[in-house]
Amino acid sequence: MSHPHQEVDIVRRLHTIEWLKSELLEGVSVFFKALIANNGQVITKALASIILTCYFLSRRLGIGLQQVDQVVEEQLRDHLDTDHQLENWYGDVSACLHHLEEKSRR
C-alpha cells in the first residue's frame, strides 16, 4: 500500500515533466518567431531557455547534468570522426567541443 505523501510526490513529478515539455515547446515557438522577426536578443534568450529546459528535464528524468554534458561531448567527437557537414563548412563541431572543454576547465 502506497503512502499518500508518495502519491502526491509522483503526481507532482509527472506534472513537472509535463510542464517542462510544454516549456520546451514554448521555447521552440519563441525561437521560430524570433527568427522571423530577426531579433538576435530574443533568439539568444529562446535558445538559452531551450537548453535550460532540456537540463531541467534531464534531472526530472533521473539523468545527471554531467551525464548529458558527457554524451554531448561524445556526440561532438563522433561528428568530428565522421566529417560532419557543419564541421566541414563552418567548423561548428570543433568550436562547440572547444567551448565545452574550456568551460569544464574553469
Question: For residue range 73-86, what is the model confidence (pLDDT) as tens digits?
Answer: 999 999 999 999 99
pTM for the structure as a whole: 0.86
Evaluate whether 91 touches 47 at the Cβ level (below 8 Å). Answer: no
Evaluate whether 74 touches 57 at the Cβ level (below 8 Å). Answer: no
CATH code of the region 1-63: 1.10.287
Check pLDDT > 90 for residue 103. Answer: no
Check pLDDT > 70 for residue 1. Answer: no
Question: For residue range 42-56, what is the model confidence (pLDDT) as tens digits?
Answer: 999 999 999 999 999
48 against 105, higher pLDDT: 48
Quote the pLDDT of residue 106: 82
Residue ranges covered by each domain of the chain: 1-63, 64-106
- The cell for 54 is 532540456
CA dist 10 and 7 (Å) reads 5
